[in-house]
């Protein structure tokens, strides 16, 4: 019996891998325009990092982490999210002493032990951006603007933006008490087991529960935006005004509390109804106390994460580039000529495949068709003698013979023959 992949872990062949490559390329180009630089952090961290940053009562820490002891008995965890590792690296590198603002992005796999479903695997991939330093609402609005433009660049459409504020250390505790009192009064016994426990320990997380019974009980719950202190209210108003000035529409959602304890003030999600119940494709918010709580300076921060598996579900295959050519030699006498000509075409920026030479002509043409190439190039005795190439346009079946020196121009994407 052959060895199979682990449940919840995926092998990505094209077009899925092509979609990931496209997202990564667009992310690097989009974020570079805003001054973000790439950071690569380890997949494995000490478990304490996530316990301190995410909170012991979060579902991630209590239920979903891949945690194990190493040979020295130290508890290690495969990263379930990126921000904690970025902040750890930021502190350890002493970047706060060298720059007033650090704009960092990461791309890579994360790990959570949960039930695999569409767009959510146990090994999943995220694109993360973190802006460390500014506490201005301008940073929040610019980060959201960058996110929405990136999503537009990769071809995601029909998205909506949800927005909320979680207040700060001054006003959020008051709201927690108001919300907890409301939950006790509306029949807390009707809440699911997780939410019943959260009423006393983390009542805001009850608002995020997806179970119908819990959502019905919290339908008329007090809104945190009604309890914001003056500074938080002004900050949130400024973020909304800047987004409006940038023609970015949004919906206020008082249930939007996110799943991690470190969030404060602005929180947001980009959502789509095109991928079923798991509609969020990106989200984030402000986390002003996180760097301090993890042992660093009191540096504010704001960031977001995009789930690449979910984004891939929204992308068409039209962004995957077809090979420009499939080149075959009629017999072994012309294999070297075809080999060198394929290299010439690639050196000119064209992409393509060189046929292996195995099998009959019909089977080789079938391979050309399955390759998805725009053109099939054939070198036989006549072509070798005259310095020409036979070119078949795979979509139309049209076939021409042209001098080898003109092939690059003929095949260039966007040419009239495409």
- Mark whether 304 and 392 lie in a shared domain: no
407, pLDDT greater than 80 = yes
Name the residue with higher pLDDT: 413 or 353.
Answer: 353
**pLDDT tens digits for range 320-341:** 678 999 999 998 889 999 999 9
Q: Please give the pLDDT value at position 189.
A: 67
How wide is the angle at C-alpha 111 spanned by C-alphas 210 and 265, nearest 5°?
55
- Asked whether residue 205 is domain-assigned, the answer is no
Taking only the tens place, the pLDDT of each residue in 101-140 is: 999 999 999 999 988 877 678 999 999 999 999 999 999 9
pLDDT at 265: 92
Lowest mean pLDDT among 8-12, 119-123, 277-281, 358-362: 277-281
What is the rounded distance in angstroms from the CA atom of residue 283 to the CA atom of residue 203?
21
Tell me, what's the pLDDT at 418?
42
Residue 97 located in a structural domain: yes
Specify the number of domains making up the chain: 2
Please indicate, yes or no, whether residues 240 and 281 belong to a single structural domain of this protein: yes
Residue 94 pLDDT grade (very low, low, confident, very high; cuts 50, 70, 90) = very high
In a shared domain, residues 242 and 375: no
Note the pLDDT of residue 206: 81
> For residue 358, what is the domain's CATH number?
3.40.50.800
Q: Do 156 and 278 fall within a single domain?
A: yes
Q: How confident is the model at residue 417 (pLDDT cuts 50, 70, 90)?
A: very low
List the domain range (segments joined by +) for residue 147.
16-171+228-317
What percentage of residues in the chain have a pLDDT greater than 70?
Answer: 93
Mean pLDDT along residues 373-391: 94
pLDDT, tens digit (0-9, with 9 covering 90-100), for 35-51:
999 999 999 999 999 88
Q: Provide the CATH number for the domain around residue 258.
A: 3.30.930.10
Q: Is the pLDDT of residue 226 over 70?
A: yes
Give me the long-range contacts of 192-201 (CB less than 8 A, separation at least 24): 194/59, 198/57, 201/57
Q: Are 379 and 404 in contact (CB under 8 A)?
A: no
The pLDDT, as a whole number, for residue 414 is 60
Q: Quick one: average pLDDT of 250-262?
A: 80
Residues 181-207 have pLDDT tens digits of 888 877 666 778 777 777 777 788 788
90 falls within a domain? yes
Whether residues 271 and 337 fall in one domain: no
Cα distance between residue 234 and residue 123, in whole Å: 39
Identify the helix (H) or strand (E) that includes residue 65.
Answer: none
């Amino acid at each position: 019996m052959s060895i199979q992949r682990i449940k919840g872990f995926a092998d990505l062949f094209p077009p899925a891998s092509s979609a990931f490559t496209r997202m990564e390329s667009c992310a690097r180009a989009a974020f570079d325009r805003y001054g973000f630089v790439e950071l690569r952090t380890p997949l494995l961290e000490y478990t304490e990092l996530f316990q301190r940053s995410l909170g012991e009562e979060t579902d991630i820490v209590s239920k979903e982490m891949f945690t194990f002891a190493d040979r020295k008995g130290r508890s290690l965890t495969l990263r379930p999210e990126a921000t904690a590792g970025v902040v750890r690296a930021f502190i350890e590198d002493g970047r706060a002493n060298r720059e007033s603002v650090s704009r960092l992005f990461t791309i890579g796999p994360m790990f959570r032990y949960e039930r695999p479903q569409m767009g959510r695997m146990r090994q999943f991939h995220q694109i993360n951006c973190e802006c460390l330093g500014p506490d201005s609402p301008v940073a929040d609005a610019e980060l959201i603007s960058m996110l929405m433009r990136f999503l537009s660049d990769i071809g995601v459409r029909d998205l909506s933006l949800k927005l909320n504020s979680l207040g700060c250390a001054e006003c959020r505790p008051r709201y927690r008490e108001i919300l907890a009192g409301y939950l006790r009064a509306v029949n807390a016994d009707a809440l699911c087991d997780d939410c019943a426990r959260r009423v006393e320990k983390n009542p805001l997380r009850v608002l995020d529960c997806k179970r119908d019974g819990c959502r019905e009980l919290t339908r008329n719950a007090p809104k945190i935006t009604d309890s914001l202190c003056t500074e938080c209210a002004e900050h949130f108003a400024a973020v909304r005004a800047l987004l409006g000035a940038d023609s970015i529409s949004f919906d206020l959602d008082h249930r939007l509390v996110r799943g991690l304890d470190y969030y404060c003030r602005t929180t947001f999600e980009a959502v789509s109804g095109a991928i079923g119940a798991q509609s969020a494709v990106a989200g984030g918010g402000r986390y002003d106390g996180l760097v301090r709580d993890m042992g660093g300076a009191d540096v504010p921060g704001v960031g977001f994460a995009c789930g690449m598996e979910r984004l891939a579900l929204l992308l068409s295959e039209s962004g995957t580039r077809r090979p420009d050519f499939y080149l075959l030699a009629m017999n072994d006498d012309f294999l070297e000529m075809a080999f060198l000509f394929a290299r010439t075409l690639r050196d000119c920026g064209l992409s393509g495949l060189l046929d292996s030479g195995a099998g009959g002509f019909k089977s080789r043409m079938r391979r050309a068709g399955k390759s998805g190439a725009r053109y099939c190039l054939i070198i036989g005795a006549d072509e070798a003698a005259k310095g020409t190439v036979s070119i078949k346009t795979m979509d139309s079946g049209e076939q021409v013979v042209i001098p080898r020196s003109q092939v690059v121009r003929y095949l260039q994407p966007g040419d009239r023959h495409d």
